[in-house]
Amino acid sequence: MSLRLGDTAPDFTQESSEGTLNFYEFLGDSWGILFSHPADYTPVCTTELGYTAKLKQEFEKRGVKAIALSVDDVESHKGWINDINETQNTSVNFPIIADQDRKVSTLYDFIHPNASETLTVRSLVIIDPNKKVRLIITYPASTGRNFHEILRVVDSLQLTDNYKVATPANWQEGEDVVIVPSLQDEAELKQRFPKGYTAVKPYLRLTPQPNRD
């Protein structure tokens, strides 16, 4: 199965470090970040999970729940969590799915045979409250993820879902955004963007972020 943007995220029930877990019930009405790890007790993953735990308040502020996956079993996960907490000076505060049977990895296309026939690649999926897939990023196993970029994408998605804007290259929260080209009516433009806008080109119009004072 090849998962694509806009698809409905597959539901599943699987064992985890926090007990049997149904994915949809876990997410509820929240946004979700599901990210896979090649195996337990691996160095890059240890740093990633530790850093994710430290971002708990940032995720909560955005209404996001994080959930990890590795192909090892629950007991292995629990021992690994002890190592993560010790070495990363944190406390893992989200479940890690035990995907020994590769069920979830197959549903989410986390195994790339040309990279490894048994281990998951370093993939990450953002899922919105309607259970739609909004972002898929896949890194090689040797490269750790940039979680500040993940937060930036969540900020962009939540902003652009509610306003007729898009975010330009390297955009950060609070910076100017782009008005979508389909919006052409001047009366609507004035209503939606009372701070005005700058037309660099007819198709490139910049305006202050609309949900900021």
* 45 is known as an active-site residue: yes
- Determine the 3-state secondary structure of 1 from DSSP: coil
Q: Distance between CA 95 and CA 107 in Å, rounded?
A: 18
Q: Distance between CA 85 and CA 59 in Å, rounded?
A: 19
Would you give the distance in Å from CA 11 to the centre of its chain?
16
Provide the token pair at 184: 């052409």
Question: Which of the following is catalytic: 21, 27, 45, 124?
Answer: 45
Q: Is residue 30 a contact partner of residue 39, using CB atoms and an 8 Å limit?
A: no
CA atoms within 13 A on the CB side of 174: 0
Q: Is residue 163 a contact partner of residue 34, using CB atoms and an 8 Å limit?
A: no
Number of DSSP helices (H) and strands (E) in the chain, helices first: 7, 11
Residues annotated catalytic, as ranges: 45
